[in-house]
Structure 1
Amino acid sequence: MLLLSFLTVALAQGAIARVWLAGFDFGCGNIQGRYTASGVTPPLLSQGRGIDGAGQMRHFVADDGLNVFRLPVCWQYLVNNRLGGNLDANNFGIYDQLVQACLDTGAYCVVDIHNYARWDNQVIGQSNGAVTNDQFASVWWQVAARYAGSSRVIFGVMNEPHELDITAWATSAQYAVTSIRDAGATSQMVLLPGTTFTSVGGFISSGSASALSAIRNPDGSTTNLIFDVHQYLDADSSGTSTECATNGVNNLSTLATWLRANNRQAFLTETGGGSTASCYTNLCAELDWMNNNSDVYLGWIGWAAGAFGADYELAETPTYANGVWTDTGIVASCVAGKF
């Protein structure tokens, strides 16, 4: 997937196209934020799994014109499963290989903690204090301090919070924002997700838009604090079917009206579809609509490449043979060059 103060202006001139590079998130690949170290699958040739995430990104940039990648990772992986602990030198070093490979392409790189607002089923800042806002702030301070000098790093506060108190979650997200800025990352974009899996369709009705609007930078501004939203196009909006039942424009349009009225912007950091006729129609229509509304939608990210194999329903993972990368049908039809 793809996708700062100077960048805000640039993004408003046209949508940003991206792809997810999945793999570091597989160890917490459930909605309760539980961790299985053996599940982590780094999309790096250096890790001996035959997955060339760096090569995929170089291809997406050079051949498809994409310019942002989302790089999900488990919180537990970063700190070697020590809640409140320091970044683990080995694990963070491996993850940083992917970040540096992304930066080397000239693209923007979203560092995304992929824990659903949880640590092993305990909601950050809720769940009777089992996982505190200070612990959450600590990991973000450490990560941001590492990338404060990289203007093309974007910070994704959390993937898909759900089933929580949205006002309390906004307080947790404020802790993260304050830590990121205090660590020296004062100008990069920070992505703020809401509850109900940060869905576009529920972003207003869930109270997410209102609660997250209160989050501020230390100087009191909302500069580069961007709402993080997701939308899938299958019949139940779960992103588990190869078929697309809708183009999602009604949901996007409703939120766009709110964003304009409140002088805010959003980033669609997850969407996608299978390589099927219905998705060629509906996903292409969604992305075309977004490109025409880039004043409030800074861009979109397609789920997912990286460690996903060709048998995954929404695979955007290109294949490599004889020196040539070949895109999946949905990438070739709806993602490449669509901005």
Structure 2
Amino acid sequence: MVTMKRLAFAALVQVASAKVWLAGVNIAGFDFGCGNTNGDYSSSSVTAPLSSQGHADGLGQMNHFARDHGLNVFRLPVCWQYLVNNVLGGNLDGNNFAVYDQLVQGCLATGAYCVVDIHNYARWGGQVIGQSGGAVTNNHFASVWYQIAAKYAGQPKVIFGVMNEPHDLNINDWATTVQWAVDSIRNAGAKSQMILLPGTDYTSVGGLIPTGSASALSAVHNLDGSKTNLIFDVHQYLDSNFSGTSPDCSTNGVANLDTLAGWLRSNGRQAFLTETGGGSTSSCYTNLCSELDWMNYNADVYLGWIGWAAGSFDTNYELSETPTYSNGVWTDRGIVANCVAGKFK
């Protein structure tokens, strides 16, 4: 009996110490050129989160998050058009890519994982990749991913985020597009880094199964037929319509996460919550912290979370996670201190 009690106690201690592997913050700004969900582009709206470009100190923010909180992943969203200077099917632009690479190299210098995220909603100028009559082809998309992956093939801590928030498309055709991207990344020499697979319905946690995304994307595979390090990419906000447009959180989203967790376990797969967040409000301190607490106890199927968003957002933004800097001291937004970083400690 004593032995059984000790074993039970040991099991409880193991559960109580559970924690996701990865947690961090989105460092936004290069994506501001994609100002809507239609894949349209405005070069004048790009706001590189780099002090060298006269904007926010994204490198300082990442150093602070990593050093002072132990956060170990940053997502670095960027418009596809920015990378190729708005030439569909073109080469990476030497000047633009060099500026973006400053952010990537600064991220890597912290020791963290770095998600290179094309932030185009599965579109270029309103045309769905591989759909919409064929104006924007799978080959166009595969080309940019081949070039990006070739640049970072030797960086094991670079994660390839195939696409931010696809929506309103044929999911089976989209799975084919994702396969083209995966093939290109692996053919470019990035044989083992993580690749994030995005479904439709804005990659929502609650939509992955009902839209058929989970089933369609399950067929995506590596060159050798394996599915190692092919991770489902999901987002979840906690306001009343899950849109991420309100600073208040009316739900903790656990029901959606739990439904998906069951599917992931049954199918031997994992997911990564690469966007979640809320305002620095009492309702979000409760609900976002609850969501992340739950994830810590389900770390077998969820790699972790990345809060939205810091970088070039100022503190007037409803979901700002941008710290302020004064006299050598970084001061965090409450939602970061309490939840995004607080639940990873």
Q: Shorter-chain-normalised TM-score: which range?
A: over 0.9
Give the equivalent residue in structure 1 for 2:267: 262
1:68-120 alpha-carbon deviations (Å, 9 max, x no partner): 00000000000000000000000000000000000000000000000000000
1:229-240 maps to which residues of 2 (within 5 A)? 229-240=234-245
Distance 2:245 2:290 in 1: 20
Give the equivalent residue in structure 1 for 2:124: 119
1:24 pairs, out of 5, 8, 30, with 30
1:226 pairs, out of 223, 228, 231, with 231
Give the equivalent residue in structure 2 for 1:163: 168
What is the aligned-residue RMSD (CA, Å)?
0.8
Give the equivalent residue in structure 2 for 1:101: 106
Deviation at 1:335, TM superposition (A): 1.4
1:143 aligns with 2:122: no
Give the equivalent residue in structure 2 for 1:40: 46
Distance 1:48 1:206 in 2: 42
Is 2:250–2:283's contact at 8 Å kept on the other side of the alignment?
yes
1:304 aligns with 2:309: yes
2:133 pairs, out of 128, 136, 160, with 128
Is 1:41–1:307's contact at 8 Å kept on the other side of the alignment?
yes
Deviation at 1:15, TM superposition (A): 3.2
2:285 pairs, out of 271, 280, 283, with 280
Among all aligned residue pairs of Structure 1 and Structure 2, give the percentage whose two residues are the same amino acid: 75
Q: Which 4+ runs in 1 deviate beyond 4 A?
A: none
Is 2:24–2:341's contact at 8 Å kept on the other side of the alignment?
no
Aligned residues: 327
Is 1:65–1:337's contact at 8 Å kept on the other side of the alignment?
no
Give the equivalent residue in structure 1 for 2:14: none
TM-score for both structures, normalised by structure 2 = 0.94
1:168-183 maps to which residues of 2 (within 5 A)? 168-183=173-188
For 1:301, what is the secondary structure of its paired residue?
Answer: strand
Give the equivalent residue in structure 2 for 1:8: none
For 2:216, what is the secondary structure of its paired residue?
Answer: helix
Instruction: Give the residue type in structure 2 aligned to 1:266.
Output: A
Distance 2:25 2:52 in 1: 21
Distance 1:288 1:92 in 2: 37
Distance 1:199 1:335 in 2: 19
Distance 2:315 2:213 in 1: 35
Distance 1:169 1:59 in 2: 38
Tell me, which stretches of 5 or more residues in structure 1 are unaligned? 1-11
Instruction: Give the residue type in structure 2 aligned to 1:328.
Output: R
Larger Rg computed on CA atoms = 2
Is 1:244–1:279's contact at 8 Å kept on the other side of the alignment?
yes
For 1:171, what is the secondary structure of its paired residue?
Answer: helix
1:188 pairs, out of 187, 193, 203, with 193
Instruction: Give the residue type in structure 2 aligned to 1:32.
Output: N
Distance 1:76 1:17 in 2: 28
Is 1:13–1:295's contact at 8 Å kept on the other side of the alignment?
no
For 1:69, what is the secondary structure of its paired residue?
Answer: strand
2:334 pairs, out of 323, 329, 336, with 329
TM-score for both structures, normalised by structure 1 = 0.96
Q: Higher RCO, 1 or 2 (CA under 8 Å, sep at least 6)?
A: 1
Tell me, which stretches of 5 or more residues in structure 2 are unaligned? 1-17
Is 1:27–1:39's contact at 8 Å kept on the other side of the alignment?
yes
Deviation at 1:147, TM superposition (A): 0.1
Distance 1:171 1:141 in 2: 16
1:201 pairs, out of 206, 230, 239, with 206
1:30-61 alpha-carbon deviations (Å, 9 max, x no partner): 10010000000000011022x10000000000
Distance 2:329 2:220 in 1: 46
